[in-house]
Amino acid sequence: MSIGARVRAQGKSFALGILCLAATNALGLAIPWLIKLSIDTLGSRGAAAHAFVVRSALVIAGFAIVQAFIRTWSRILMFNAGRNVEYELRRDVFAHLTRLPPSFYRQSPTGDVMSRLTNDLGAVRMLFGPGALNIANTAIVYVTGAWLMLTLNPGLTALALLPFPALILGGRAFSRAIYRTSRDLQDQLGTMSTSIQEDLAGIAVVKLYAIEDQRQAAFARLNDDYLSKALALVRTRGTLMPLFAVVGGMGTLIVLWAGGRDVIAGRMTVGELVAFNFYLIYMSWPTVALGWILSLWQRGVAAWFRVREILATVPDIADPAPGAASRIPIITNPAVTVRDLTVSYGERTILDGVSLDLPAGQTLAIVGRTASGKTTLVDAIARLIEIPRGTVLVGGHDVVDLPLAVLRGTVGYAPQEAFLFSATVAENIAFGWRDGGDAGGRDHGDGNRDGDLDQRARVERAALAAGLGRDIDVLPEGYDTMVGERGITLSGGQRQRVALARALCAEPRVLLLDDSLSSVDAQTEREILARLRPILAGRTAVLVSHRVAAVKDADQIVVLDAGRIVERGRHPDLVAAGGLYAALYREQLAEEALHAEAAS
């Protein structure tokens, strides 16, 4: 939902708040009129005059009490509406961020995105809370106050409002400056947040290369830039308040001079002059506060546009349009087909006309040198990148036409770069849990089916299959051990195996392993793959590995080179062919022999 829609959803609260403001100002503006009548009545010096003044005083006290109550309620309504807008927008922005593709995050620094999700949304709340209240209040005060002043003395009103055109012109000029400086300040805050986030995430590298002083100096420069921009905004805002106060004071001086002459000349009563001056004073606070209101408005507008930039970003990968499919498809035969798939980034071609057929229940291995397109091919099957329609099919369905929840519920993916959340080992593995798993469950030969296993049992089985058994035993709290931010307390191999267990815990029909054991030694990888064979039986699997020996038992092997499939077949046939696969196999056998010799 757009920002405008979220604001409109709070329309009832805003409308009631403005009505309360109108009632508050009606009571407030009635008080000077009662004072005028009381002062003018005092001239008669009779008992009736005394009674009228007493009644007026009681009415004024009552108005003040009711006004205080209604004013408080107006703030509750409008401030809460602003907070509701912030709450709903923060939820919308976060939900939208989860739908944006990895390419967005490669181009958008994390710190800047976080700044928009926190500081900018706070500025939007101030815009639609205190900002909206003060804008509405100022408009009501100006309109009603000016009307009452015209009722009392049109000529004096014209003189009192003479300085206001200068106020409007000055407000416009300062408004543009405030918007520019506010936008610069918020952009700089995003840049500084990104720098902090990167330095803290990469603190090990900072310490390893002893560049603490350099990073401190770089942060000091960013901090100095932020300070200078903040001071520029403060100077602009600081000039506005005194300027508007002076303009408002000039009106008061004019009223005292010209109004006093009218009273002396008998053209105006003392009560009318007092009431007129009350109305001018009543208008003086909104006038003095106009600078703050303009600053709040421009800062909120700048934040609004920064938040809108995120919401306006259209996900490259999205669910099919409503009505594109009459019903949600069910994938019962998880075969994978790739037809003439070409993927390019700019002028660089990553995959060039790749085609393959992987029947359901078989294992496909993908090998090749670095940057040959292996990860891109796996990402295309999971639709983590956008691909042309008709080029990748899972279970006979074009992945472009599949709802993402259906596709991702069918596919389990263990990437090479394992990401762990700051949670326990069990919680990280359970991220792959989908209640119910495969329709009807799957028999594992031990009398249990997926639907009969609780989450903990499923997590433990996935961990054992991923080769985490011995590691769990030595962790201080076993499965309940906190792994720290990004899994910092675990080794690279342990993080990869937790990510593998996460994929296995989902019991997917299609399992994608993108070199997900690259951080473990060759012997450990062979042991884990041996444990995986019973799990892979009956499941469609795509296995990417830089170790040829690890994939030799696959049903079919494809060899990628520069984005093209240059060889395909089974291990014995590819070794006998003497091509790229055979060369990679010989190189790795030689490396393993050297490592074995060095170890002995």
Structure tokens at 181: 């400086």
Q: What is the mean pLDDT of residues 466-482?
A: 85
Quote the pLDDT of residue 276.
86
Sheet of strand 556-561, all strands in order from the earlier edge strand to the far edge = 411-414, 510-514, 540-544, 363-368, 556-561, 564-569
**In b/e form, how buried is each residue of 171-200, taking b as 16+ CB within 10 angstroms?**
beebbebbbebbbbbbebbbbbbbbebbbe
pLDDT for res 377? 92
> In this structure, are strands 556-561 and 564-569 parallel, antiparallel, or unpaired?
antiparallel
Q: Cα(259)–Cα(262) distance, rounded to whole angstroms?
A: 5
Strand pairing category for 336-345 and 348-358:
antiparallel
**Average pLDDT for 4-13:** 78
pLDDT over 60 (residue 468): yes
Whole-number pLDDT of residue 357: 92
pLDDT band at 446; cut points 50, 70, 90: very low
Q: What is the pLDDT of residue 340?
A: 92
Torsion of Cα atoms, 467 then 471 then 477 then 483, to 10°: -80
Pairing relation of β-strands 510-514 and 411-414? parallel
Look up residue 290 and give its two tokens: 């106009």
Spell out the alpha helix ranges (H) of 209-317.
212-265, 270-311
Residue 542 DSSP SS3:
strand
Mean pLDDT of the region 113-133: 85
Q: Do residues 388 and 566 make contact, with C-beta atoms less than 8 angstroms apart?
A: no
Residue 48, both tokens = 């009736």
Amino acid type, 427: E
* Burial (Cβ within 10 Å: 0-12, 13-18, ≥19) of residue 427: middle
Of 57-66, 105-114, 555-564, give the lowest mean pLDDT range. Answer: 105-114
Residue 1 has pLDDT above 60, yes or no: no
pLDDT higher at 504 or 284: 504
Does the pLDDT of residue 19 top 90, yes or no?
yes
Confidence grade of residue 449 (pLDDT, cut at 50, 70, 90): very low
44-88 residue pLDDT tens: 666 777 788 888 889 989 988 998 899 899 889 988 988 888 888
Q: Which distant-in-sequence residues (6+ apart) come within 8 Å of 514 by Cβ?
A: 374, 375, 378, 413, 414, 415, 416, 544
Q: What is the predicted pLDDT for the residue at 168?
A: 66
Residue 416 main-chain phi, psi, to 5 deg: -70, -40
The amino acid sitting at 300 is G
What does the pLDDT look like over 333-372, one tens digit per residue? 888 999 999 998 878 888 999 999 999 889 899 998 888 8
CB contact set of 308 (below 8 Å; sequence gap of 6+): 3
Provide the pLDDT confidence category of residue 441 given band limits of 50, 70 and 90: very low
Rounded-to-integer distance, Cα 418 and Cα 509, Å: 21
Is 90 exceeded by the pLDDT of residue 418?
Answer: no
Partners of residue 50 on adjacent β-strands: none
Mean pLDDT of the 236-260 span: 75
Identify the structural domains of the chain with CATH numbers, from first to last: 3-311 (1.20.1560.10), 336-599 (3.40.50.300)
Mean pLDDT, the chain, as a whole number? Answer: 81
Mean pLDDT of 436-445: 41
| Token duo for residue 16 | 């009631």
pLDDT at 317: 78
